[in-house]
Structure 1
Amino acid sequence: MKARVTVTLKNGVLDPQGKAIEGALKGLGFAGVGSARQGKIIDLELDETDAEKARTDIAAMCDKLLANTVIENYSIDIVG
Protein backbone atom coordinates (compact mmCIF):
# COMPACT_ATOMS: atom_id res chain seq x y z
CA MET A 1 0.00 0.00 0.00
CA LYS A 2 1.24 3.49 -0.81
CA ALA A 3 0.53 6.64 1.11
CA ARG A 4 1.39 10.31 0.74
CA VAL A 5 1.85 12.59 3.73
CA THR A 6 1.68 16.33 3.10
CA VAL A 7 3.14 18.53 5.84
CA THR A 8 2.53 22.28 5.86
CA LEU A 9 3.06 25.09 8.32
CA LYS A 10 0.03 26.11 10.35
CA ASN A 11 -1.63 29.42 9.51
CA GLY A 12 0.04 32.23 11.40
CA VAL A 13 3.45 30.54 11.49
CA LEU A 14 6.10 32.59 9.70
CA ASP A 15 7.28 30.95 6.47
CA PRO A 16 10.59 32.50 5.37
CA GLN A 17 11.06 29.96 2.58
CA GLY A 18 7.60 30.74 1.24
CA LYS A 19 8.40 34.47 1.32
CA ALA A 20 11.67 33.82 -0.55
CA ILE A 21 9.82 31.79 -3.19
CA GLU A 22 7.21 34.53 -3.50
CA GLY A 23 9.89 37.20 -3.96
CA ALA A 24 11.82 35.11 -6.48
CA LEU A 25 8.71 34.44 -8.55
CA LYS A 26 7.85 38.13 -8.60
CA GLY A 27 11.46 38.90 -9.55
CA LEU A 28 11.12 36.50 -12.47
CA GLY A 29 8.08 38.40 -13.72
CA PHE A 30 5.29 36.27 -12.25
CA ALA A 31 3.42 39.26 -10.83
CA GLY A 32 0.16 37.36 -10.31
CA VAL A 33 1.48 35.43 -7.28
CA GLY A 34 -0.14 36.86 -4.17
CA SER A 35 1.66 34.62 -1.69
CA ALA A 36 3.52 31.33 -1.48
CA ARG A 37 3.85 28.82 1.36
CA GLN A 38 6.16 25.85 1.27
CA GLY A 39 5.79 22.39 2.74
CA LYS A 40 6.98 18.86 2.23
CA ILE A 41 5.62 15.64 0.79
CA ILE A 42 6.63 12.24 2.11
CA ASP A 43 5.73 9.16 0.05
CA LEU A 44 5.57 5.91 1.98
CA GLU A 45 5.26 2.34 0.79
CA LEU A 46 3.78 0.12 3.48
CA ASP A 47 3.34 -3.62 3.90
CA GLU A 48 0.00 -3.00 5.64
CA THR A 49 -3.10 -3.95 3.60
CA ASP A 50 -5.77 -2.49 5.90
CA ALA A 51 -6.24 1.17 4.97
CA GLU A 52 -7.53 2.25 8.41
CA LYS A 53 -4.66 0.51 10.21
CA ALA A 54 -2.22 2.15 7.78
CA ARG A 55 -3.78 5.57 8.42
CA THR A 56 -3.50 5.06 12.19
CA ASP A 57 0.14 3.95 11.88
CA ILE A 58 1.02 6.90 9.63
CA ALA A 59 -0.66 9.35 12.01
CA ALA A 60 1.55 7.97 14.79
CA MET A 61 4.60 8.36 12.52
CA CYS A 62 3.64 11.98 11.88
CA ASP A 63 3.06 12.72 15.55
CA LYS A 64 6.39 11.17 16.56
CA LEU A 65 8.73 12.10 13.68
CA LEU A 66 7.44 13.35 10.35
CA ALA A 67 5.76 16.57 11.50
CA ASN A 68 6.32 19.09 14.27
CA THR A 69 2.70 19.25 15.34
CA VAL A 70 3.27 22.44 17.34
CA ILE A 71 3.79 24.43 14.12
CA GLU A 72 2.82 22.02 11.31
CA ASN A 73 -0.32 20.34 10.02
CA TYR A 74 -0.30 17.10 8.09
CA SER A 75 -2.69 15.23 5.85
CA ILE A 76 -2.58 11.57 4.86
CA ASP A 77 -3.69 10.23 1.48
CA ILE A 78 -3.83 6.48 1.00
CA VAL A 79 -2.97 5.88 -2.65
CA GLY A 80 -3.44 2.15 -3.05
Structure 2
Amino acid sequence: MKAKVTVMLKQGVLDPQGEAVKSALGNLGFGGVEAVRQGKVIELDLAETDATAAEKAVTEMCEKLLANTVIESYRVEIG
Protein backbone atom coordinates (compact mmCIF):
# COMPACT_ATOMS: atom_id res chain seq x y z
CA MET A 1 0.00 0.00 0.00
CA LYS A 2 1.22 3.49 -0.78
CA ALA A 3 1.05 6.49 1.50
CA LYS A 4 1.80 10.12 0.74
CA VAL A 5 2.53 12.64 3.48
CA THR A 6 2.51 16.36 2.71
CA VAL A 7 4.26 18.47 5.34
CA MET A 8 3.94 22.26 5.39
CA LEU A 9 4.91 24.98 7.81
CA LYS A 10 1.94 26.17 9.86
CA GLN A 11 0.42 29.54 9.00
CA GLY A 12 2.24 32.30 10.84
CA VAL A 13 5.59 30.47 10.81
CA LEU A 14 8.24 32.35 8.83
CA ASP A 15 9.13 30.52 5.58
CA PRO A 16 12.51 31.84 4.38
CA GLN A 17 12.75 29.21 1.62
CA GLY A 18 9.34 30.23 0.31
CA GLU A 19 10.38 33.89 0.35
CA ALA A 20 13.58 33.04 -1.54
CA VAL A 21 11.58 31.17 -4.19
CA LYS A 22 9.13 34.09 -4.48
CA SER A 23 12.01 36.52 -4.93
CA ALA A 24 13.69 34.30 -7.54
CA LEU A 25 10.44 33.95 -9.47
CA GLY A 26 10.06 37.74 -9.45
CA ASN A 27 13.61 38.10 -10.76
CA LEU A 28 12.73 35.70 -13.59
CA GLY A 29 9.78 37.86 -14.62
CA PHE A 30 6.99 36.05 -12.78
CA GLY A 31 5.76 39.12 -10.92
CA GLY A 32 2.24 37.87 -10.27
CA VAL A 33 3.28 35.49 -7.49
CA GLU A 34 2.03 36.99 -4.23
CA ALA A 35 3.19 34.30 -1.79
CA VAL A 36 5.08 31.02 -1.75
CA ARG A 37 5.02 28.38 0.99
CA GLN A 38 7.51 25.56 0.57
CA GLY A 39 6.96 22.12 2.06
CA LYS A 40 7.88 18.51 1.47
CA VAL A 41 6.18 15.39 0.16
CA ILE A 42 7.16 11.98 1.52
CA GLU A 43 6.04 8.83 -0.31
CA LEU A 44 6.02 5.54 1.56
CA ASP A 45 5.54 1.98 0.32
CA LEU A 46 3.95 0.02 3.14
CA ALA A 47 3.53 -3.72 3.67
CA GLU A 48 0.22 -3.00 5.45
CA THR A 49 -2.89 -3.99 3.46
CA ASP A 50 -5.54 -2.41 5.70
CA ALA A 51 -6.05 1.27 4.90
CA THR A 52 -7.15 2.21 8.42
CA ALA A 53 -4.14 0.52 10.01
CA ALA A 54 -1.84 2.08 7.41
CA GLU A 55 -3.18 5.57 8.11
CA LYS A 56 -2.77 5.05 11.84
CA ALA A 57 0.83 3.87 11.38
CA VAL A 58 1.75 6.76 9.07
CA THR A 59 0.14 9.27 11.44
CA GLU A 60 2.31 7.88 14.22
CA MET A 61 5.37 8.19 11.95
CA CYS A 62 4.50 11.83 11.34
CA GLU A 63 4.06 12.55 15.03
CA LYS A 64 7.37 10.90 15.94
CA LEU A 65 9.66 11.76 13.00
CA LEU A 66 8.33 13.02 9.69
CA ALA A 67 6.90 16.35 10.88
CA ASN A 68 7.89 18.82 13.56
CA THR A 69 4.37 19.29 14.87
CA VAL A 70 5.33 22.44 16.76
CA ILE A 71 5.82 24.38 13.51
CA GLU A 72 4.54 22.02 10.78
CA SER A 73 1.21 20.50 9.84
CA TYR A 74 0.83 17.34 7.78
CA ARG A 75 -1.70 15.54 5.64
CA VAL A 76 -1.73 11.76 5.12
CA GLU A 77 -3.14 10.17 1.97
CA ILE A 78 -3.46 6.38 1.68
CA GLY A 79 -3.93 4.82 -1.71
- Unaligned ranges ≥5, structure 2: none
Q: Which residue of 2 is the match for residue 58 of structure 1?
A: 58
Q: Secondary structure in 1 aligned to 2:41?
A: strand
Deviation at 1:62, TM superposition (A): 0.2
TM-score scaled by structure 1? Answer: 0.97
TM-score scaled by structure 2? Answer: 0.99
Q: 1:3 and 2:3 equivalent?
A: yes
Q: Which residue of 2 is the match for residue 13 of structure 1?
A: 13
Between the aligned partners of 2:54 and 2:28, the Cα distance in structure 1 is 42
Once superposed, what is the RMSD of the aligned Cα atoms?
0.4
Deviation at 1:36, TM superposition (A): 0.3
Q: Secondary structure in 1 aligned to 2:55?
A: helix
Map Cα deviations across residues 20-41 of structure 1 (whole Å, 9 max, x no partner). Answer: 0000000000011011010000
Between the aligned partners of 1:77 and 1:24, the Cα distance in structure 2 is 31
Question: How many pairs were matched up?
Answer: 79
AA aligned opposite 1:28: L
AA aligned opposite 2:50: D
AA aligned opposite 1:18: G
Q: 1:33 and 2:30 equivalent?
A: no
Between the aligned partners of 2:63 and 2:77, the Cα distance in structure 1 is 16
Q: Secondary structure in 1 aligned to 2:6?
A: strand
- Unaligned ranges ≥5, structure 1: none
